[in-house]
Chain A
Amino acid sequence: MADLIVHILVPIAIFTFIAAFTLFAVYAERKIAGFVQDRLGPMETGKFGLVQTIADILKLLQKEFITPSAADKILFSIAPVVIFGAVFVGFSVIPWAADFIPANTHTGLFFIMAVVSIDAIGILMAGWGSNNKYALLGAVRAIAQMVSYEIPVGLSLIAVVMITQTLNLNDIAYLQGIHAPESIYFMGFWDVTQIGGIFAWHIFQAPHLLVVYVIFFIASLAECNRAPFDIPEAESELIGGFHTEYGGIKFAFLFLAEYAMMFLVAILGVVLFLGAWNTPLPNIGSLRLADWTTGMGWGIAWTVIKSFTIVGIQMWIRWTLPRFRADQLMTLCWKVLIPLAFLCLAISGLWRIMVML
């Protein structure tokens, strides 16, 4: 029975975190947008506009349920649940600190890849169910983009899995710090098992993984339909894309799913490449910085700090770069990212055989 209560409490905790994160992230996004565009952003509601997003969500929650009369009512109302559910389930295998993980499975990474692809079905459901040309066009664009960019994401994940030899995200996190079960090397020559810190992260364990991380980051931006890859919801052409017809709490769920997806890809990148819950501070002689800053509380703090930094970079990119054209988007994916990811995959194999053994 205690097990069952834990199984109910953990999803509630994660949901609360995602909801709080979304409120915070929307505010941060507006402030960053304001900073980039040389204006102030929200200032009226609360001190520095701090309660602006809370006011927004209260407004959304009170709104009437509006379903277009020509819409497919069942699909229209299920779609937000499917989209949010797909992203939410992905959080079940993410490690927050050492052995602090909702589900410690051997198939963690593979599981995330699978559930994120359900997201595409939800978007198609929303686009088709709305019975609106703009919504359908937005959904079709979103699917074309997500299906294409799943390939570089998958290839970059395989490149790092070839180095780690496991799909278990908890084990992958262990391999990047002072608690690593086997000896780890900085760039393949300097034993950093006792030193840890930033040198033990995957991107520094093998030099090509830095390139792989960049590929993963770009492709994951496209996976969550963020600018500069936001042609599925290009306001100037498509009004709002697949969520044109949505309002009230259904729209709130779609919004929550979008920000949850941003955080999911950010934390996934952190776990795979940027040392997960391991500290960036190395042991220097008798200055045991890595030993001092490793532990449960520190682990959660490092994971969250690193992920928030990545989310911040995603926002910075969104407000800095203009939107890609559809053909440029496909050219980047098929002619640049995929060949590069294949090359890194081959290097990963050689690295594992030649350098790590």
Chain B
Amino acid sequence: MTIDVLLFYAFATMAIGSALLLVSIRNTARALFLLFIVLFAMAGLYLFALADFIAITQILVYVGGVLILLIFAFMLSNKELLHDLQRVSHRFIMIPRWQALLLSAAFLSIMLYSFLSWSKSMPEWIETAQMNGTVISPADNNIQALGFRFMTQYVLPFEIISIFLMMALIGAAHISRKEQNA
């Protein structure tokens, strides 16, 4: 067992373990900080897929932005409201949760189906890519390739997303502005 396999399993255990703890814990503040561990471990797993840009973006956007926003929202929300949310039944399986049961059963059956129909060998497209040499190595400059793609092949989706984010920003500024003549 090499050290990177060991690291992979460490990150995977960390992600799954903290995610399980996150949904079962009572203390909302601790749950939010557990989300940080989940996101961080996921970023570590992205690194194993040679997606270093995605991994760093995950930390920058989700940990540095979204998670802080979540914690602020938690701190600013009403204590009584949070108390109501936490006061739920302790039984594991119950009728009001039929959607969750249905969803998890569906996911489990999909995973079982794909596992059983897996032929225990590399998919064909991976083998052809390895034969043609069209694979990336850890030392490749992925950022440059990404930048070229964004500015050539995917320039329209990229610009649409930019405008969409701009709209969200202006909308947020408009909503939060104090009305002058209300």
Contact = CB atoms under 8 A, between A and B. Distances in A.
Contact of A150 (B63, B64, B142, B143): B64
Given A72-B30, A75-B29, A125-B33, A105 B52 contact: yes
A143 B63 CA distance: 13
Contacts of A246: none
Contacts of B33: 75, 121, 125
B68 A72 contact: no
A336 interface: no
A114 B33 CA distance: 17
Interface string B144-157: 10000000000000
Nearest to B60: A114
B63 A117 contact: yes
A180 B123 CA distance: 45
B64 A167 contact: no
Nearest to A111: B56
A290 B141 CA distance: 31
A110 B71 contact: no
A355 B67 CA distance: 41
A72 B29 contact: yes
A124 interface: yes
A143 B59 contact: no
Contact of A118 (B52, B63, B71): B63
Interface string B92-104: 0000000000000
A84 interface: no
Q: How large is the interface on A (under 10, 10 to 19, 20 to 34, 35 or more residues)?
A: 20 to 34
Nearest to B74: A128
Given A106-B143, A167-B143, A117 B60 contact: yes
Interface string A95-139: 000000000011100110111011011001100100000001000
Contacts of B71: 121, 124, 128
A124 B143 contact: no
A114 B72 contact: no
Contacts of B75: 128, 136, 140
A117 B64 contact: yes
Q: How large is the interface on B (under 10, 10 to 19, 20 to 34, 35 or more residues)?
A: 20 to 34
Given A75-B30, A167-B143, A107 B56 contact: yes
Contacts of A120: 64, 68
B68 A143 contact: yes
A75 B142 CA distance: 37
Most A C-beta atoms less than 10 A away, residue of B64, B65, B71: B64
A167 B143 CA distance: 8
A60 B57 CA distance: 38
B32 to A, nearest CB: 9
Interface in A58-116: 72, 74-75, 105-107, 110-111, 113-115
19 contacts: A4-B3, A72-B30, A105-B52, A106-B52, A106-B141, A107-B52, A110-B53, A110-B56, A110-B60, A110-B143, A114-B56, A118-B63, A121-B63, A128-B71, A136-B75, A140-B75, A143-B68, A147-B65, A167-B143
Interface of A: 4, 72, 74-75, 105-107, 110-111, 113-115, 117-118, 120-121, 124-125, 128, 136, 140, 143, 147, 150, 167
Given A105-B52, A121-B33, A124-B71, 19 more contacts: A72-B29, A72-B30, A75-B30, A75-B33, A106-B143, A107-B52, A110-B143, A113-B60, A114-B56, A114-B57, A114-B59, A114-B64, A115-B59, A117-B59, A117-B63, A118-B64, A121-B36, A136-B75, A143-B68
